[in-house]
Amino acid sequence: MKPMKDVRLTTLRIPLVYAIFGLLWILFTDLLLFMLVRDIDVIAQIQTYKGWLFVILSTLIIYGLVARSAQQNEAAQEALAQSERLYRLLFNNNPLPMWVFDLSTLKFLEVNDAAVDKYQYSREEFLNLTLKDVRPPEDVPLLLENLAQMAKPINYAGEWRHRRQDGTVFPVEVISHEMSYNGRTTHLAVAKDLTEQKRVEAERANVFQRNQALVQALGEIVYEWFPSRGEVRWEGDYGRILGYSADEMGDTTAVWQEKIHPDDLAFVKQAVDAAHSRRRNLEIEYRFLQKDGTYRWMLDRGVPVFNDKDELEKVVGVFLDIHDRKQTEVALRQSEERFRRAIEFAPFPIFIHAEDGNFLAISRTLLDITGYTFAEISTVSKWTERAYGVEQAQIMAGIDRLYELDERVAEGEFYITCKDGAQRVWEFSSAPLGRLPDGRRSVISIAVDVTERKNAEKQMHLQNSALNAAANGIVITDINGLVEWANPAFTELTGYTLAEALGKNPRELVKSDKQDRAFFESLWQTILSGKVWRGELINRRKDGTLYYEEEAITPVWNEDGSMTHFIAIKQDITTRKQAEKEREQLLKQVQSQAEQTNQIMQSVPEGIFLLDRAGEILIANDKAEEHLALLADVAVGDTLTNLGDKPLAALLTQPEHGNWHEIRVQNQVFELIPQQVKSGPVSQGWVLVLREVTEQRRIEEQLHRQERLAAIGQLAAGIAHDFNNLMAVILLYAQLLARSPRLIAKEKEQINTISLQAQRAARLIEQILDFSRRAVFERRPLDLLSLLKEEVKLLQRTLSENIELQFEHGAGNYIVKADVTRIQQTIMNLAFNARDAMPEGGRLQFDLSHLSFDQAEQAPLPLMPPGSWIRLSVKDTGTGIDPDVLEHIFEPFVTTKEPGKGTGLGLSQVHGIVAQHDGFITVQSQPGAGSTFDLYFPAMSLIEDVVVPELPETAVSGQGERLLVVEDEPDLRAALVESLTLLQYDVVETANGAEALAQLEQGTAVDLIICDVIMPQMGGLPFVQALQRLNAPPPVIFVTGHPLDVEPDYLREMGVRNVLTKPVQPAQLSQAIAAALKQ
């Protein structure tokens, strides 16, 4: 249709284009002509040419349009023909019957091959028929009514009955489509044969009806459920099963779901969705509400039915009553559970095992007795391996025979091994249980643990043996007191044999007349009343001797509660009676000793107290009561739960380190050690020792600090000694160079700087040696009071005016044996430290006082020996010292000053100097509250006059005297030799005392020996001692960096004229040499 429409449009377009072109040509060309040409004749001539040109151009345009229209018309015809061919192809080859009919006449205009085949008419016959001819006569009125209502282009005509040529009628579904056919309004119809579909539906209906009948016959319920419509149709005996009428049963999905148990609803929905999505049948059990309000177990089996569009149309199912089955299953499970629990909790060992070697059940009692877990004995093989060990193979063979049994069998007694290695005796019996569902034969084996019975039998035998072997006499009499049995100890006790005693009353045998009639009447009254009689009496042996007897008589009852016998146990207590008299005497002694023990306990300096098992304080000495009141606020008679912040239970255990528990309360420290009081294996309580160790800890900390300082000092001394040798070499060579006449002024200034810096380094080394206590001191009696007065005056001139100086002292002498230079250094170091701690000014106070004590416990510091001491206190009101720094304040290079304002050696030097004077030093300080340094020096009673010569500072040259230099350090030895050579001495050198002694013994004559003290092979002291073997040994000057632990008088006796400290100055050395040579 579209190509024809395009042709008509092209035909109308040609004259329209021609008219528009002509109009535009006239307007445009005339306008252009009148604008360009003014001559009328020329214009007329041009108009003629213009007319011909218009004819030519319009002809060309019309030709083009006509040609294009012809092409389009040809293409439209081809498209129309192609569409017609395609339509014919689809129409004729469609498998469904199709036809075109005239809506007004109902006559068939076109039919396809499928219609010819289906309706059995030829094509020619078909085209002479109308729609009414293929319908049963009775359906024609309905056909005409339906056709009158057709208005839509596509109309669903519904289901109809059609008739073939042979008169058979079959159902069809017709769909018609309005169309134009050869200029007429027609309809294209498609007919689908529904015969097969109707047959299937009828079959389904028949099946459903048969199922309904079957369900009715079976008394069950069947349903049809249409999920898309939410409708349910119930059939069957639901009234009998659930109690509902048809109306009460409901016909909707919602009513159905309301009757499902709430706990099952989510599960049911999930199962239904899963079955439908996977196109599987549904089978699910759930509880369904009955009319009486109870729930009944139902089995829902549904089959989904899908339509031609593969959509779920409905579900056909059966609702089966399984309530009784579920109840039976529950009962069965309960029965199985009871059986399982009966096995598991049986009071004796039970196995159920199968012939493949697996245990099906094991009682818990078996596991409890043996200690094994089920995993450890889960098979017969594992059990026999663990329980029977090397006998496993024999036991396994016996177990295999059990599966052939058809009746119960008693297997006998077996020894089994428990997990802990203990052995028990079990008496086994087994019985067959038949075959399991999988065909395996099974057996139940029951064991009775007869270990106790076996042990009881052994015990009985042992008791019988013990009765016969008992040391006490045992007699069994009848109710009248006549002897029926007695053990050998009775014969030993009384002298009567069993044969002599049988049938007689013991009174007839051993009566001594020491007990009166009333005694025996009371005895019989007690035992005949069913009570045990215990007492002591004096009896007579067969030989007539008397003995003390302790006796217990016990009634014996039979099963019916009648008294039948008496058992008498007799013990000879003659020796005990004698011992009791001795004990009475001992008791008095013990009481006296207890009093002494209490006095000793009270005199013990530690706290001692006794606790019972409940923690009650039974006894405590005075010191313990004092400590307990402080630590726990408890006293004797109270229950102790803790000491300080530590619970009692923790204090009664072994501490992690050492034997003592530590308890801290405020600033006090206590130690406690517990000791159990045992009576046999049972603890009766605890003895605890509690002591205060606050002062001891303080002393230990002081000792630890001193040990640490000593270790640091030892290290520093070694380093300082090596540096001293280096400084000595530098100083000697520097001063040698300074004497050179060829030096210019700048070089002399540089050498002088080297010398000054070396001396400064030497002083620093001196400070280190002072701290390490390795400095060489010259200790002489010193009046500390006079020295302090002079030092205070000096400080008043040197310290700032905003620092107030105070000096206080008591009466008396303050004489100490000291090196005056080192004491001055100590005072200055402390004063300058105090000055630096008071940048805004303050007070610096010096106090001198005497201190004497006879016992070490009275000493203010650890290790201070008893005696007389002088205390020098230096107090300031400065910034104080931080506690973290205070602990290390005497260590080298520890300082509170800013970087660059101190070496950190001042206080370490003070500590070393005081220690080298046999003294002690301590410090108390708090941030913001100032510091106090207390120095303790041993006091002297007498002052000896000492002259200290002043040596001139200029060097003195020699007169060619021969000197022997003994020094192990090569560089220092070379420097000394060169310096002394320049001083005009003849110098001989050796590396140690052994070499020097060898030269002297070989005849080398020298006037003076300059000797180091510490050297390999032979040091200075052994060397001067060895010199005494020579005739007229030369004098000696010691040059050392170490202190000498010998008296100066001894050195003088050994020929030592002087002791110089390294690094030695050349001038100082030359003066000492000159002085020694003069002596």
Average pLDDT over residues 367-375: 91
Q: How many CB atoms are located within 10 Å of the residue 912 CB?
A: 29
pLDDT at 603: 67
- In the chain, the amino acid numbered 45 is Q
Tens of pLDDT, residues 826-857: 888 888 888 888 888 899 999 999 998 888 77
Residue 2, pLDDT > 50, answer no
- CA angle, 769 then 772 then 774, to 5°: 60
Q: What is the pLDDT of residues 764-816, one digit of tens each?
A: 666 565 544 444 556 778 888 888 888 888 888 778 888 899 999 988 889 99
**What span, in angstroms and rounded, lies between the C-alpha atoms of 533 and 536?**
10
Distances in Å between the Cα of 908 and the Cα atoms of 443, 452, 591, 888, 891 are 92, 81, 61, 10, 5
Using one digit for the tens of pLDDT, what is the confidence trace for 400-449? 888 888 888 888 889 999 999 999 999 998 889 888 888 899 998 988 88
At residue 559, does pLDDT exceed 60? Answer: yes
Task: Find the mean pLDDT for residues 964-991.
Answer: 88
C-beta separation of 1017 from 996 below 8 A? no
Amino acid identity at 639? T
CA angle 322, 324, 328 (to 5 degrees): 115
- Dump the DSSP string for 97-137: -EEEEETTT-BEEEE-HHHHHHH---HHHHHT-BGGGGS-G
| CA distance linking residue 892 with residue 909, whole number of Å | 8
Of 878 and 943, more confident: 878
* pLDDT above 70 for 666: yes
Cα–Cα distance between 40 and 46 in angstroms, integer? 10
- Chain CA centroid to CA 159, Å: 81
How many whole angstroms separate alpha carbon 249 and alpha carbon 172? 38
For 461-478, the pLDDT digits (tens) are 776 776 777 778 889 999
The mean pLDDT value of the chain amounts to: 81
Residue 212, pLDDT score: 59
Q: How many residues does the chain have?
A: 1079
Nearest Cα neighbor of 329 from 285, 387, 279 is 285
Given a contact cutoff of 8 angstroms between Cβ atoms, the answer to whether 768 and 717 are in contact is yes
Residues whose CB is less than 8 angstroms from the CB of residue 316 and which lie 6 or more positions away in sequence, other chains included: 208, 211, 222, 223, 224, 225, 302, 303, 305
Q: What is the per-residue pLDDT for 847?
A: 94
Per-residue pLDDT of 153-187, as tens digits, reads: 555 557 888 999 898 989 988 888 788 777 777 88
Strand pairing partners for 479?
none
- Going by pLDDT thresholds of 50, 70 and 90, the confidence category of residue 966 is very high
Q: At residue 282, what is the residue type?
A: L
The per-residue DSSP string of 451-477 comes to HHHHHHHHHHHHHHHHHHH-SSEEEEE
> 536 forms bridges with which residues in the sheet?
550
The fraction of the chain above a pLDDT of 90, given in percent, is 16
Angle between helices 2-36 and 40-93 in degrees, nearest 10? 170
Residue 760 pLDDT grade (very low, low, confident, very high; cuts 50, 70, 90) = low
Is the pLDDT assigned to residue 96 strictly greater than 90?
Answer: no
Which of 384, 371, 377 lies closest to 414, judged by CA? 384
| The predicted structure's pLDDT at residue 900 | 47
| Greatest Cα-to-Cα distance within the chain, rounded to the nearest angstrom | 204
Question: Domains, the chain, ranges and CATH?
Answer: 2-84 (no CATH), 94-193 (3.30.450.20), 198-321 (3.30.450.20), 337-454 (3.30.450.20), 470-572 (3.30.450.20), 604-692 (3.30.450.20), 778-948 (3.30.565.10), 962-1078 (3.40.50.2300)
Burial of 439 (0-12, 13-18, 19+ CB in 10 A): exposed
151 vs 745 pLDDT, higher one: 745
- For the chain, the straight-line distance linking the first and the last C-alpha, in angstroms and rounded, comes to 157
Q: How many CB atoms lie within 10 A of CB 3?
A: 17
Q: Which of 966, 955, 917, 954 is nearest to 938 (CA)?
A: 917
The contacts found for 652-661 with CB under 8 angstroms, 24 or more apart, are 652/686
Q: pTM for this structure?
A: 0.31
What's the DSSP call for residue 538?
E
Q: CA distances (Å), 442 to each of 345, 386, 430, 527, 557, in order?
A: 20, 22, 11, 60, 49
Grade residue 373 by pLDDT with cuts at 50, 70 and 90.
very high
Q: How far apart are CA 437 and CA 424, in angstroms?
A: 35
- Contact partners, residue 109, CB within 8 Å, separation at least 6: 99, 100, 101, 102, 127, 181, 182, 184, 186
pLDDT in tens, 1008-1027: 999 998 888 898 899 999 99
Flag whether pLDDT at 6 surpasses 60: no
- Please, are residues 351 and 358 in contact by the beta-carbon 8 Å criterion? no
- What single string gives the DSSP state of each residue in 978-1017? HHHHHTT-EEEEESSHHHHHHHHHTT---SEEEE-SS-SS
274 phi and psi angles, rounded to 5 deg: -65, -40
> What is the structure's pLDDT at 9?
54
Taking the CB of residue 573, how many other CB atoms lie within 10 A of it? 16
- At CA 814, angle to CA 808 and CA 819, rounded to 5? 110
pLDDT at 889 over 80: no
